[in-house]
Amino acid sequence: LDIDDFRALRAQFTDFMLGYKFAIDEITTKINILREDFNNAHEYNPIEHINSRLKAPESVLEKVRRKNYQMNLASIRENVLDIAGVRVICSFISDIVKIRDMIAGQEDVTVLDERDYIAHRKPNGYRSLHLIVSIPVFRSDRTDRIPVEIQIRTIAMDFWASLEHKIYYKYRGEVPPNLQSELTEAAEAAAALDEKMESLHRLVDHGKTRSAPVADELDLT
Ligand code: 0O2
């Protein structure tokens, strides 16, 4: 590999990664539009906030090695589907499916895979809805279909997952069993909080259509 080959490879890889950055921009715009439009139509905002991240090149290559994928751009495009990641944080569990349907229903969006870790939580207690979609990205000389992983979760699910992620990395994947079971307990508490918030939310929503003041009904005073 001489210096010119190296430069050419680097340019190809930069161009490849740029496609994922554009895909994040596209999906983020779609979600921001849904947020504003939904708010305008229903006077209610189902989205708390949106985060995104582009997987670091080292993590992409590490995943290719770990999973034994072929080390070329076509194979990476086909197999590593979480290079572009967007996370949507909602207030209530019922918002998650609303967001999912509004994204999945768009004409230029293809759902490649879906994992419902809310209906089927992971053994450690992890909950989230994962959607792998592909969208067209219009480049100066071509159109590419780029995969994006969208994670949709509530504030409570996100709160738990961020702490769990920190602990997992701190112990390099070897979380002591007592801490692991405390974490699973915390996940159950988060799930119970989500249920409680959902039922309060329904009560308030229901209350809106009645003449009785909601505050009396809920004793929020
Ligand atoms: P980061 O830093 O968020 O990018 P794989 O991607 O092959 O390892 P798989 O089965 O293809 O795993 O994907 P999975 O498990 O459906 O989703 C992977 C992503 O979901 C993770 O990305 C996390 O963001 C999140 N996730 C999945 N399980 C857990 C969990 O138990 N705890 C937490 N905190 N997050 C989880 P990365 O690449 O691991 O991390």
Task: Enter the ipTM.
Answer: 0.93
* Ligand 1 atom having least distance to the Cα of 161: 34
pLDDT at 209: 56
In testing the pocket of ligand 1, which one of 126, 153, 167, 183 has its CB within 8 Å of the most ligand atoms?
126
Q: In the predicted model, is pLDDT for residue 188 greater than 90?
A: yes
pLDDT confidence tier of residue 96, bands split at 50, 70 and 90 = very high
Average pLDDT over residues 178-182: 94
Q: Is residue 172 a part of any domain in this protein?
A: no
Q: Is residue 62 a part of any domain in this protein?
A: yes
DSSP string across 120-156: S--TT----EEEEEEEEEE-SS-EEEEEEEEEEEEHH
Q: Is residue 162 a part of any domain in this protein?
A: no
Q: What is the CATH number of the domain that holds 60?
A: 3.30.460.10
> Is 79 touching ligand 1 by the criterion CB < 6 Å?
no
- Active-site residue, from 62, 149, 174, 195: 149
Q: Is residue 211 a part of any domain in this protein?
A: no
Q: Is 47 helix (H, G, I), strand (E, B) or coil?
A: strand
149 part of the active site? yes
Mean pLDDT of all residues in the chain?
93
To 5 degrees, how large is the angle CA 128–CA 53–CA 42?
55
Average pLDDT over residues 80-91: 98
203's tokens: 């009560």
Q: In the predicted model, is pLDDT for residue 101 greater than 50?
A: yes
pTM of the model: 0.91
Domain range enclosing 51: 3-154
Instruction: Look at the chain and report how many structural domains it folds into.
Output: 1
pLDDT at 221: 44
Which residues fall within 8 angstroms of residue 135, CB to CB, at 6 or more apart?
A: 23, 26, 27, 108, 109, 110, 145, 146, 148
> Is 126 touching ligand 1 by the criterion CB < 6 Å?
yes
94's tokens: 């019922």
